[in-house]
Structure 1
């Protein structure tokens, strides 16, 4: 057997080996949900009054990663990091933490002006409310 034929067999065998090995990307977890992009988050650059009856807030969405939370009297304001997950047509699940041990998860339906919130306090108590979500023009 001459060198060129040995080389040809080696190349063919190597190609067969490579094609039999899975070079696929890391497995994708189908349960991981995507975060909203700048382009798809309808609230970017907009402000909203949220009214849960006994609790009222102003939310200024700077991006799908940053929001400014303000109390009705304007004395309590905080810029918070948020995560925004699209869950429907103009409906998003938004998570943020206001201070150590206080976590907020709300589902905002910007199309229909409805907000659902779950506020978890450091003492373990929780407040769950449904309210209105009105864009400030």
Structure 2
């Protein structure tokens, strides 16, 4: 069923962001779907019908002009998009990705457990020799 072989590595933990261009944002503001005076979030964009669903967040990209001052909260943005929003007098707030603390705790515990096991193993060797 696969005519070409799968190449490379597929990361199953990849974040899937919804792309939003500056031109599409300006079009929605001009159509009065979004209030530019209030803070624009992903949920507000979905409610306004600009985006269909959020997935793992919104990524702001440059395509088209942005003339209106906006305060937008996104999961990610390109450097050009941040520059375009700031040039219009607005502000881009990026959400921090969620931290994975469980894996850090597991690695610390396993390192401590391994150290304890090696210490216990050396003590057993000493008692057997005596």
TM-score by length of 1: 0.19
* Structure holding more helix per residue: 2
* Structure holding more strand per residue: 1
TM-score by length of 2: 0.19
